[in-house]
C-alpha cells in the first residue's frame, strides 16, 4: 500500500503557536506535550506560576519552544473573544474547548459543573457556525475519566469509585493525560480543516455505552 506523501504535513504544527490555558498540569499539560511534539511553540497560560514554570521546563527537555504566562483565565467565551481578531488577521486558526462527558450526560452529583460543560458545548457549536467564514474551526474535546490530581482526590474520598469507573469503561482502564495529546494535535492541525462544531469523546468507550 502506498503512503500519501502529504500525510506528515497534515499533522505538522511547525511554525504555529499554541496557547494552552490550564496547561500547567493534568489534561492541559498532556495536550501541551502533544502540540509541542508536533512542532508548535507552546504558551502555558495559567494561575499557578510554580506549576507553570515546571511545565515549561518539562516541555523544554524535548527541545520544544515554550513559555509561561500567568493569567487568571476569565472563561472560554472571553478567551475566544480575545483570540478572534488575532486569528482573523492570521487568515484562520483553531480553537479547541475542553468539555466533559457531562456536557452530554446528566450528573446528579455535579449539577453546576454539568450545566457549565453543557453550555460550553453549545458555545462551541455557535462559534463554529459564526466564525467558519473566517476559516476558524472551533471544536470540543470531551474527556472521560482521566487520572489527574482532581480525580485522585475523588477516588480517595469515595470508596469503590475507582473500580466502578474501570468496570464501566470498555477500555478497562482510566485515561492518562497523554491520551489527550493526539486529539489536541489533530484538532489543531490541517488534518481537521473541514471539521468544526464537533464534540469528540476521548473516554475509552465510556460514552458509547450510553
| Active site (catalytic) residues | 113
Do 71 and 44 meet the contact criterion of CB atoms below 8 Å apart?
no
The β-bridge partners of 95 are 138
What spatial distance separates the first Cα and last Cα of the chain, rounded to whole Å? Answer: 37
For the CA atoms of 135, 140, 141, 144, the dihedral, rounded to the nearest 10 degrees, stands at -170
The β-bridge partners of 201 are 142
Angstrom distance (rounded) from CA 75 to CA 120: 10
Taking the CA atoms of 26, 31, 36 and 42 in sequence, report the sign of the dihedral they define.
negative
Taking the CA atoms of 23, 137, 197 and 172 in sequence, report the sign of the dihedral they define.
negative
Amino acid at each position: 500500500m502506498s503512503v500519501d506523501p502529504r500525510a506528515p504535513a497534515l499533522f505538522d504544527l511547525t511554525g504555529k503557536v499554541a496557547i494552552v490555558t490550564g496547561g500547567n498540569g493534568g489534561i492541559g499539560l498532556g495536550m501541551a506535550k502533544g502540540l509541542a511534539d508536533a512542532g508548535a511553540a507552546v504558551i502555558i497560560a495559567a494561575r499557578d506560576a510554580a506549576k507553570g514554570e515546571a511545565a515549561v521546563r518539562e516541555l523544554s527537555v524535548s527541545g520544544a519552544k515554550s513559555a509561561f504566562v500567568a493569567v487568571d483565565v476569565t472563561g472560554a467565551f472571553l478567551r475566544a473573544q480575545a483570540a478572534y481578531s488575532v486569528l482573523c488577521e492570521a487568515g484562520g486558526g483553531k480553537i479547541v474547548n475542553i468539555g466533559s462527558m457531562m456536557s452530554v450526560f446528566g450528573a446528579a452529583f455535579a449539577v453546576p459543573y454539568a450545566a457549565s460543560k453543557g453550555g460550553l458545548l453549545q458555545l462551541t457549536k455557535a462559534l463554529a457556525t459564526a466564525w467558519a467564514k473566517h476559516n476558524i474551526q472551533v471544536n470540543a474535546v470531551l474527556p472521560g475519566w482521566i487520572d489527574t490530581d482532581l480525580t485522585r482526590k475523588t477516588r480517595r474520598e469515595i470508596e469503590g469509585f475507582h473500580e466502578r469507573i474501570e468496570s464501566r469503561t470498555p477500555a478497562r482502564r482510566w485515561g492518562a493525560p497523554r491520551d489527550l495529546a493526539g486529539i489536541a494535535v489533530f484538532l489543531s492541525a490541517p488534518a481537521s480543516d473541514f471539521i468544526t462544531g464537533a464534540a469528540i469523546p476521548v473516554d475509552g468507550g465510556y460514552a458509547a455505552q450510553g
